[in-house]
Amino acid sequence: MDEQPRQPPSAAPARRPFRVLVTGGAGFIGSHLCRRLLAQGHEVLAVDNFYSSARSNVLDLLGEPRFELIRHDVTFPLYVETDQIYHLACPASPVFYQRDPVQTTKTCVHGSINMLGLAKRLGARILLTSTSEVYGDPVVHPQSESYWGNVNPIGIRSCYDEGKRCAETLFFDYYRQHRLPIKVARIFNTYGPNMLPNDGRVVSSFIVQALAGEPLTVYGDGTQTRSFCYIDDMVDGLIALMNSAPEVTGPINLGNPAEFTMLELARKVLAITGGHSPIEYRPLPSDDPARRRPDISRAVEVLGWKPAVELDDGLRPTVEYFRRHLAG
């Protein structure tokens, strides 16, 4: 049997079953969120255009009577009935969001306008999954929600970084202008089963390379840092924020404050996979942040949330997922 990480306590479910819309519902985080919402008794409508997701992530849910999957691009309006909206739709890894940067910006901006319009019509509570990328290459460490960021507005990552910053602007303008009940989460690096092997994220890349016996690709000198949050913890945080008091709008950082260098992560992956791959160094990509670690003081205080799964414990089931996935 695969080793499983210690499961954190689930966020308390809402008082009654809701009909919940999850955009990007077949993606990595979205698919896990859909499962948790179904387990809490809600009806779930997942919407996805499958640009950077996989239908296989939710294939086992298609027989669930309370689950529905719609192929739809959120840059076009959507007319459905729902009580809550988790707005996750957007390619979140550089491989995908840089492939079509104009479409990425449209997804962030037009997609948010369409979902906010839907929420306004229905009076539905809506949560945006923003990103730690709004902090850019930070000069403040760790990053708290009061930090305005250090973002290059014309770089190759700007379609995503500035797109999410604009999405946050739209959410708070709808809140101020229309009193729309909003929630904004700033998600830091998240990992776990259902990641795509070709998404270019460092955890999935290292694992796939280690399992294939290929060199682990480290950009720069490997001393740049990231913080890694296991998917179960992240889903707990999103649900806790959605069901928090109305005056809690965010933005609120969700992530694991334990900080690791890329070389430390590479060594952990090699130890868990049993691999002996060498490390191959390549030039650092443009605008790649040197350090990234969330200050989660607000999440702890306001939501009573903090991550429970240690990196080693989360890497084990993630490695086993990729081992099975790559074996076909």
Taking the C-alpha atoms of residue 286 and residue 174, their distance in angstroms, rounded to an integer, is: 33
Dihedral, CA of residue 256, residue 261, residue 263 and residue 266, to nearest 10: 10
- Indicate if 160 belongs to the active site: yes
Query: First-to-last CA distance in the chain?
Result: 18
User: Smallest Cα–Cα separation from 186: which of 152, 158, 227, 125?
Assistant: 227
What type of residue sits at position 37? L
- The 10 Å CB-count burial string (b at 16+, else e) for 225-262 is bbbbbbbbbbbbbbbbbbbbeeeebbbbbbbbbebbbb
In this structure, are residues 47 and 20 in contact, taking their beta carbons and an 8 Å threshold? no
Q: Which of 51, 86, 160, 191 is catalytic?
A: 160
- d(C-alpha 177, C-alpha 195), whole Å: 37
User: DSSP states of 33-53 as a string?
Assistant: HHHHHHHTT-EEEEEE--SSS
Active site residues per annotation: 160
